[in-house]
């Protein structure tokens, strides 16, 4: 054998060409990894499934949500199927393995959560789920019947923080704020915060005659299928923003338009947070409630524990027990508690069609996913295919 020839030509042999299948496999793996990194750390697409944020956001809006504004959250459940949130699309099985759980950590962001930000977050009461009835909170089901009945009727599962259902609401109050509501008007730190022009509340509208031009109302943004008659002559109940009502009053066939003086009390499943029989609160009248802030110390008594029990036990991972008139935290008697995280109070703009903090309380900072930036596509469910696209909403910013 010619060793000089072998050494000279060592490594110069042409490499074996990849097969088409191997090239496609490599390309797909690269695309999945790149898309996952973008989705986890930079920006992600979401869709609006319900009308709780109307008229700010409409059903059928597709949004881009920034992960960098508040700082991207490091995955807490790192082993998961790409692009599936908590359930596999075909099999209905879990899309993640919760055998490995990382502590909550977040990369530095450009800003903190501010009042009036539109925020995507994980549903706080989504830690326990009745699989056959996921539209309802498990805790509401239990409050409405009993633990035994719910657990015998449904398949119950638990979910880690980052695999709970995604919600989108407006941040009404940040950590340290005091929030309340009277006759449907929110109050933060002693200052009334009326709904923006996008917010919806019930109004009574009286027309001058039974003949009503519905096309004019549609142009103003009213959903004509939601205009319902009342016992009073020519008077209808509508959901509208203050701006819509101002425009409505200008019409010559409208006699009057005023907010419904008899705002309905809450009759929804489970009732109002903190579900305390000693508090006669409803969705339009509640509070005051102080939103917990990191480092804030609350005195523990019969008045404060209903408000902060779940935050102390579930969100901050302590054992909480009552022994006689005393409270035990992690087995030790406690007269106060200092919070480890910031919390937020989230509400929908469509106040009478929104499951929000009024029903399930505070949103912990480790549940915050990102800030809604803009609408990149919007579809209306009615009309022809081309007319389904809401052209005026494409690339519209979210305020």
Among residues 340, 314, 321, 344, which one has the least CA distance to residue 160?
Answer: 314
pLDDT cut 70: percent of the chain above it? 90
Among residues 196, 192, 250, 188, which one has the least CA distance to residue 220?
Answer: 250
CATH 2.10.109.10 residue ranges for the chain? 33-184+265-296+339-397
Q: Which fold has domain 33-184+265-296+339-397?
A: Umud Fragment, subunit A (2.10.109)
CATH 3.30.70.250 residue ranges for the chain? 201-259
Task: Tell me the pLDDT tens digit for each residue of 96-123.
Answer: 998 999 999 999 999 999 999 999 999 9
pLDDT over 60 (residue 365): yes
Indicate if the alpha-carbon torsion angle 73, 76, 82, 88 is positive or negative: negative
pLDDT over 50 (residue 61): yes
| pLDDT reported for residue 339 | 98
- DSSP, collapsed to helix, strand or coil, labels residue 26 as helix
Task: Tell me the pLDDT tens digit for each residue of 285-310.
Answer: 899 999 999 999 999 999 999 999 99
pLDDT over 60 (residue 322): yes
Q: What is the 3-state secondary structure (H, E, C) of 192-257?
A: EECCCCCCEEEEEEEECCCCCCHHHHHHCCCCHHHCEECCCCCEEEEEECHHHHHHHHCCCCEEEE
> Is the bond leading into 194 cis (omega within 30 degrees of zero)?
no
Over residues 114-142, the mean pLDDT reads 92
| pLDDT reported for residue 266 | 45
Task: Tell me the pLDDT tens digit for each residue of 143-193.
Answer: 888 899 999 999 999 999 999 999 999 999 999 999 999 888 889 999 988
Q: Are 334 and 328 in contact (CB under 8 A)?
A: yes
Q: Are 109 and 71 in contact (CB under 8 A)?
A: yes
> Is the bond leading into 288 cis (omega within 30 degrees of zero)?
yes
Residue 58, classified by CB atoms within 10 Å of its CB into exposed (0-12), middle (13-18) or buried (19+), is middle
**What is 172-188 written as a DSSP string?**
EE-TT-EEEEETTEEEE
Q: Which fold has domain 201-259?
A: Alpha-Beta Plaits (3.30.70)
Over residues 9-15, the mean pLDDT reads 58
Model confidence at 267, pLDDT cuts 50, 70, 90, reads very low
């Amino acid at each position: 054998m010619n060793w000089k020839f072998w050494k000279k030509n060592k490594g110069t042999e042409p490499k074996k060409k990849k097969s088409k299948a191997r090239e496609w496999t490599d390309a797909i793996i690269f695309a999945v990894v790149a898309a996952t990194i973008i989705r986890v750390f930079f920006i992600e697409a979401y869709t609006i499934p319900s009308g709780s944020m109307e008229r700010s956001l409409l059903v059928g809006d597709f949004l881009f949500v920034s992960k960098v504004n508040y700082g991207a959250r490091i995955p807490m459940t790192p082993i998961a199927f790409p692009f599936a949130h908590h359930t596999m699309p075909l099999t209905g099985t879990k899309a993640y393995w919760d055998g490995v759980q990382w502590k909550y950590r977040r990369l530095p962001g450009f800003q903190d959560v501010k009042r009036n930000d539109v925020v995507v977050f994980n549903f706080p009461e989504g830690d326990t789920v009745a699989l056959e009835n996921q539209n309802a909170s498990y805790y509401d089901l239990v409050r409405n019947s009993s633990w035994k009945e719910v657990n015998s009727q449904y398949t119950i599962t638990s979910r880690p923080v980052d695999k709970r259902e995604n919600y989108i609401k407006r941040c009404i109050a940040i950590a340290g704020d005091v929030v309340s509501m009277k006759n449907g008007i929110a109050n933060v730190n002693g200052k009334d915060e009326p709904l923006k022009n996008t917010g919806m509340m019930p109004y009574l509208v009286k027309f001058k005659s039974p003949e009503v031009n519905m096309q004019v109302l549609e142009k103003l943004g009213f959903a004509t299928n939601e205009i319902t008659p009342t016992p009073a002559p020519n008077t209808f109940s509508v959901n509208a923003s203050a701006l819509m009502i101002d425009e409505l009053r200008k019409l010559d066939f409208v006699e009057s338009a005023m907010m419904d003086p008899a705002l309905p009390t809450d009759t929804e499943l489970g009732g109002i947070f903190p579900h305390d029989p000693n508090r006669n609160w409803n969705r339009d009248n509640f509070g005051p409630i102080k939103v917990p802030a990191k480092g804030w110390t609350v005195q523990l008594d019969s008045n404060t524990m209903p408000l902060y029990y779940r935050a102390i036990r579930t969100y901050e991972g302590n054992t909480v027990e009552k022994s006689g008139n005393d409270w035990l935290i992690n087995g030790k008697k406690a007269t106060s508690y200092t919070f480890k995280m910031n919390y937020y109070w989230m509400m929908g703009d469509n106040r009478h069609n929104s499951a929000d903090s009024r029903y399930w309380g505070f949103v912990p900072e480790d549940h915050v996913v990102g800030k809604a930036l803009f609408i990149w596509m919007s579809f209306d469910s009615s009309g022809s295919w081309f007319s389904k696209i809401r052209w005026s909403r494409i690339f519209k910013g979210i305020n």
